[in-house]
């Protein structure tokens, strides 16, 4: 569904991408993992036609991002790090608005179905200003699905969310892929890639340095060695000792 070949991009003197290559299979979740500034957003912006590469090529849904940008845009949706929902409207109104803008039949039904899919039915009638971070991000993902694009880009979908909200967003992402949508997500969190992705690619110093399933990545390291480690007492140990319930 996505094919990236020898992609290069510089900002003035700063070479960010130095020959990035990867492929994403239809209906899978692919995690582009990298630290802050690695170039993840740059890759996503090129794939979503917002930015032109200096060299190399990329296809999305069979269309070349440089030669057929309109066809690519019809095939994708992009959810950035900062939720693009309207605070003053309710969750349902946000969804209906986008469905209307896309000239789809029965915007109300589309909105209700998406609210249901993302466990937002109860919150649907409330202004988004009252939503938690996780609810907002779920609504954002729901909005990006209107029109059923086959490919969705999620750029750091859980950055800035609390642990509970992250788990909610993870469930939403799994739900997407379960229905056949191809998901490319970027993350700087190892656990997020581990939890969600069918394949993980690590972007480092302008190149993909490894690309594989979690099992394949784990096999790159030698088997774990057992080492003796002196254990420091935990706060729990201290507490139990002080209150006289030490059972050691």
Ligand X SMILES: Nc1ncnc2c1ncn2[C@@H]1O[C@H](COP(=O)(O)OP(=O)(O)O)[C@@H](O)[C@H]1O
Residues that bind Mg ion (CB under 5 A): 40-41
Q: Least Å distance between CB 183 and ligand X?
A: 17
User: Is the Cβ–Cβ distance between 39 and 225 less than 8 Å?
Assistant: no
Q: Least Å distance between CB 16 and ligand X?
A: 4
CA distance linking residue 34 with residue 36, whole number of Å = 7
Q: Least Å distance between CB 119 and Mg ion?
A: 27
Judged by beta carbon distances under 5 to 8 A according to partner kind, the member of Mg ion, ligand X, none in contact with residue 91 is none
CA distance linking residue 224 with residue 233, whole number of Å = 24
Sheet with 199-204, side-by-side order of all strands: 76-79, 151-155, 182-187, 29-33, 199-204, 207-212
The structure tokens listed for 139 are 């609504």
Judged by beta carbon distances under 5 to 8 A according to partner kind, the member of Mg ion, ligand X, none in contact with residue 124 is none
Query: Which of 173/202 has CB closer to ligand X?
Result: 202
Alpha helices in the chain (DSSP H): 40-47, 69-75, 91-101, 107-117, 133-144, 163-178, 190-196, 214-218, 235-242
Judged by beta carbon distances under 5 to 8 A according to partner kind, the member of ligand X, Mg ion, none in contact with residue 28 is none
CA distance linking residue 96 with residue 111, whole number of Å = 6
Judged by beta carbon distances under 5 to 8 A according to partner kind, the member of ligand X, Mg ion, none in contact with residue 34 is ligand X
- Give the number of other CB atoms < 10 A from CB of residue 121: 14
Query: Which of 94/158 has CB closer to Mg ion?
Result: 158
CA distance linking residue 81 with residue 157, whole number of Å = 6
Judged by beta carbon distances under 5 to 8 A according to partner kind, the member of ligand X, Mg ion, none in contact with residue 36 is ligand X
Query: Which of 81/119 has CB closer to ligand X?
Result: 81
Q: Least Å distance between CB 39 and Mg ion?
A: 8
Query: Which of 41/49 has CB closer to ligand X?
Result: 41
Q: What are the residues binding ligand X (CB under 6 A)? A: 11, 14, 16, 34, 36-42
Q: Least Å distance between CB 42 and Mg ion?
A: 8
Query: Which of 41/158 has CB closer to ligand X?
Result: 41
SS3 per-residue string spanning 79-128: ECCCCCCCCCCEHHHHHHHHHHHCCCCCHHHHHHHHHHHCCCCCHHHCEH
Q: Least Å distance between CB 43 and Mg ion?
A: 9
Q: Least Å distance between CB 18 and ligand X?
A: 12
- Helix or strand (DSSP H, E) at 76: strand 76-79
Query: Which of 119/188 has CB closer to ligand X?
Result: 188
Query: Which of 19/37 has CB closer to ligand X?
Result: 37
Question: In the chain, what is the straight-line distance between the N-terminal and C-terminal CA atoms, in Å?
Answer: 57
Judged by beta carbon distances under 5 to 8 A according to partner kind, the member of ligand X, Mg ion, none in contact with residue 42 is ligand X
């Amino acid at each position: 569904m996505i094919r990236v070949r020898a992609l290069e991009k510089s900002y003035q003197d700063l070479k960010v991408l130095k020959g990035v290559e990867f492929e994403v299979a239809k209906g899978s979740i692919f995690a582009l993992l990298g630290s802050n500034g690695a170039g993840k957003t740059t890759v996503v912006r090129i794939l979503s036609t917002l930015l032109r590469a200096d060299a190399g090529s990329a296809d999305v849904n069979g269309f070349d991002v440089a030669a057929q940008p309109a066809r690519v845009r019809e095939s994708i949706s992009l959810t950035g790090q900062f939720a693009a929902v309207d605070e003053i409207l309710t969750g349902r109104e946000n969804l209906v608005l986008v469905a209307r803008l896309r000239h789809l039949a029965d915007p109300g039904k589309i909105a209700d179905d998406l609210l249901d899919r993302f466990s937002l039915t109860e919150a649907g009638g409330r202004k988004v200003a009252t939503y938690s971070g996780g609810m907002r991000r779920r609504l954002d993902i729901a909005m990006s699905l209107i029109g059923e694009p086959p490919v969705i880009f999620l750029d750091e979908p859980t950055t800035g969310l609390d642990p509970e909200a992250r788990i909610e967003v993870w469930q939403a992402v799994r739900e997407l892929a379960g229905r056949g949508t191809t998901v490319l997500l970027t993350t700087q969190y190892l656990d997020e890639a581990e939890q969600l992705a069918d394949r993980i690619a690590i972007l480092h110093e302008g190149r993909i340095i490894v690309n594989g399933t979690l099992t394949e990545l784990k096999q790159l390291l030698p088997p774990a060695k057992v080492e003796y480690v002196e254990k420091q007492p935990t706060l729990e140990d201290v507490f139990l000792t002080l209150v006289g319930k030490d059972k050691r």
